[in-house]
Chains A and B, each alone.
Chain A
């Protein structure tokens, strides 16, 4: 299948996994958000690079993805940090070295699983292992980071992985449905942001482990 931009897809996918690893390796919240923004931008490039020709559908999806994932969501997270006056360092329950090694394990697992999945062989088969890797790393971030805000980041990475997987079906899924998914995520993160903000105002902390101490 001829691609609109040859050789771009493998490079973009590689960079997406590198942004995953950057989120795992960093100790700074702002770097996490920046990596997430870059990942959103890269995800926006993909619909164009895997499409056989430059169609309105592909370009529209790319523009929508970049607008939501690379501009609005990172901006919103930065706003949330500022408003909630969160400390700039993330406090993971496991250190950066263990996180990175888990990330490497996640990538290995993703490639091992993807080779065994009964998927129709296609030109976009390369997307599958990378999407699984992003999903698993999203889970790792979601489970090993204590702060509510970093958990939002993990959730967004998880969603990015699902979006990647969805791109293999891009010719079959109607455009409106994709827009609906983007909107869903946007609303979800918006609500989470407000919840995070309120947790912070009630309890002076965003440490989610302390939520177990709630009582009336």
Chain B
């Protein structure tokens, strides 16, 4: 099981909002393809999936905020 964590985006930026999940729970995802869209005060990022597998769980939903290091999803 791979935990997808919110990576550091810039110094002093300790949180981001999840604006869009490119996949739903149960989908097969491939390492490197867009998984989740993140929004900080300054910019919008597409974060690629860190692993291939089934998206087992989404722990931060669209519109919610997460802190750097927080688990956003689990891939197994």
A and B are interacting partners: no
> Which residues does A use to contact B, with CB under 8 Å?
none
> Which residues does B use to contact A, with CB under 8 Å?
none
